[in-house]
């Protein structure tokens, strides 16, 4: 049997009912994306690895809590979300760096602020601005722009309403844009 062809939700049922060792396939499927998400959220490679590893362990221990009618990816992202928030509240960790080029396109205005800032400097200001945001605004932005999650998926991961997701993304983008423009005007 080729485990790679089994749909996620059926794989979890198989893990629960037949062979727990098959959980390795779940890890293989989602390790890279969850690590990217955690790295962008936390800003630290080592911390991201720790959070993702702890999340996989937690999901493994609580595999019976998974409802196979739901998306496995949302369940896993939710686990990383919870673990990351726990880590942040324990360590008050300030995020550092990630990849923000695609996100930066959201903030290039009609006036073309690239004329005053090099792309690299603009990215740096957006990165600093994003990581300066409170987690409640930062996380939906990361999920939507970096993880390409739909609003419905973000609702499932963060367990907030669709209107709250939309509001937090809108407010977060405005705060980042305001911060970047302030930096632009100060240079």
* Tokens coding 122: 């603009």
Please, what is the Cα angle at 78 between 12 and 141, to 5 degrees? 135
Measured CA to CA, the distance from residue 78 to residue 157 in angstroms comes to 5
Closest among 117, 93, 106, 109 to 172, alpha carbons compared = 106
Q: What is the pLDDT of residue 184?
A: 67
Residue 68 CB neighbours (<10 A): 15
Residue 150 CB neighbours (<10 A): 11
H helices of the chain, in order, are 8-17, 23-42, 45-61, 72-91, 101-104, 119-132, 135-141, 151-158, 162-186
* Tokens coding 137: 């605004």
41 versus 154: the higher-pLDDT residue is 154
Q: Which residue has the tokens 């896993």?
A: 76
Residues 6+ apart with CB under 8 A from 158: 78, 81, 139, 140, 143, 165
Tell me the per-residue pLDDT of 86-142, one tens digit each, with 9 for 90 and over: 887 776 534 333 444 455 555 444 444 444 445 666 667 777 788 888 999 999 999
Tell me the per-residue pLDDT of 66-89, one tens digit each, with 9 for 90 and over: 888 888 999 999 999 999 888 877
Measured CA to CA, the distance from residue 45 to residue 34 in angstroms comes to 12
Tell me the per-residue pLDDT of 18-68, one tens digit each, with 9 for 90 and over: 999 999 999 999 999 999 999 988 888 999 999 999 999 999 999 988 888
Query: How is residue 3 annotated by DSSP?
Result: G
> What is the pTM assigned to this prediction?
0.69
Residues 6+ apart with CB under 8 A from 9: 68, 69, 70, 71, 72
């Amino acid at each position: 049997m080729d485990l790679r062809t089994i749909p996620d939700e059926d794989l979890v049922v198989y893990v629960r009912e037949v062979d727990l060792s098959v959980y390795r396939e779940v890890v293989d499927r989602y390790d890279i994306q969850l690590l990217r998400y955690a790295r962008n959220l936390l800003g630290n490679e080592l911390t991201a690895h720790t959070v993702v590893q702890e999340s996989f362990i937690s999901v493994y221990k609580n595999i019976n809590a998974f409802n196979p009618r739901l998306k496995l990816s949302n369940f896993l992202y939710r686990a990383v979300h919870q673990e990351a928030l726990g880590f942040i509240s324990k360590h008050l960790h300030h995020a550092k760096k990630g990849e923000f080029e695609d996100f930066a396109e959201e903030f290039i205005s009609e006036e073309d602020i690239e004329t005053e800032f090099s792309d690299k400097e603009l990215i740096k200001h957006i990165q600093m601005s994003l990581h300066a945001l409170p987690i409640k605004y930062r996380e939906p932005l990361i999920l939507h722009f970096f993880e390409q999650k739909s609003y419905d998926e973000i609702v499932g991961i963060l367990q907030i309403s669709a209107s709250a997701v939309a509001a937090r993304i809108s407010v977060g983008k405005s705060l980042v844009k305001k911060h970047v423009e302030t930096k632009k005007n100060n240079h």
